[in-house]
Amino acid sequence: MAHYNSFKDEIIVEKRRSKLRAHRQITIQTRRTFVAYSFLIVPLLFFLAIRIYPTLYAFVMAFSEKGTGDFSLVNFERLLTDTVFWKALLNTFLYVIITVPIQLGLGLLIALAIEKVRRFKWLYRTIYFLPYITSVVAVSWVWKLMYDKDYGFFNEFLGWFGITPQTWLSDPKLALLCISAVMIWQSIGFSMLIFMAGLQVIPKSFYEAAKIDGSNSWSMFWKITFPLLNPTLVFLVVTGVIEALQTFTQVQNLAGSTGGPLNSTVSIAVYMYKVAFLEFNMVYAAAIAIVLFLVILVVTIIQMKLLNKSYEY
């Protein structure tokens, strides 16, 4: 009987120990969860304060009238008759149409060329990628000096061949193309690097099988390389278009805050800045920001629908 009672006591003690261990484990898990949320709450609050709140407040401002704060569509009605806004919208799409295809095409060509090189690939990648990581402001001012009508490199170069110097950034017909050239030059390196990453994912066995079948380089590019680069191409097109739609810094530093001459280079972002900080009409600038947001959203959705295709390796 004593032996039975002793065994029973041991079972009771063991149960208590198990409960204590489970309680400690729950406590440790709770502490870990609390610490994790403590680390997450700071960036979350920062994101809400810097991103979400200003965005929501911009929507409120866009639907209010200047000076009263009452709900109104007057800002959007003004957009319909604002010639400068429509000029900015047209210029913004011109930046997209000019820069994105050229920078992607040149980036792909450079990536394919570097892939053929056996030595010093890292050096070529670095040289072409350096402009992308260089400050946009610094790059813009260097190009502005090269565009100078009196002492710039480009007019000096034209002079070697007896060609009349150009006014470049002061010419309404050339200014937008000049800014687009700077954007293309600076973005080629990023496109090149992403395309190289996409090329390295394609299995080499596909090319070996194609060579055995007698395919040439041109045929292999269009039937193997280009289709399998579709995910890479979609990523670069979407990010490139979004970046071009938000064109601001290059115009600001090369052509000024007003997007001159004669609004020939003004983009939606530049016009929004002008209205907000030069004319101090924040509610109208908020309406322009909402339109820009909707344009980016719609264009991105259309791109994803048209370009995104699945291929099996």
**What's residue 120's pLDDT?**
87
Q: What predicted TM-score, i.e. pTM, was given to this entire model?
A: 0.84
**What's residue 54's pLDDT?**
86
For domain 81-307, the CATH superfamily is MetI-like (1.10.3720.10)
- The 3-state DSSP class for residue 71 equals strand
Name residues of the chain where pLDDT drops below 50.
2-4, 7
- Domain extent listing, the chain: 1-62, 81-307
Report the C-alpha gap between 83 and 175 in whole angstroms: 19
**180: nearest Cα among 108, 243, 89, 257:** 243
For all residues of the chain together, what is the average pLDDT? 87
The set of residues, in sequence order, having a beta carbon less than 8 Å from that of 89 and lying 6+ positions away, is: 268, 295
**What's residue 35's pLDDT?**
75
**What's residue 110's pLDDT?**
95
**What's residue 36's pLDDT?**
78
**What's residue 16's pLDDT?**
59
What pLDDT digit, counting tens, does each position of 41-91 carry?
888 888 888 888 888 888 888 888 877 778 888 999 999 999 999 999 999
- The 3-state DSSP class for residue 310 equals coil
Report the C-alpha gap between 29 and 35 in whole angstroms: 10
- The 3-state DSSP class for residue 140 equals helix
**What's residue 311's pLDDT?**
57
CB atoms within 10 A of CB 18: 10
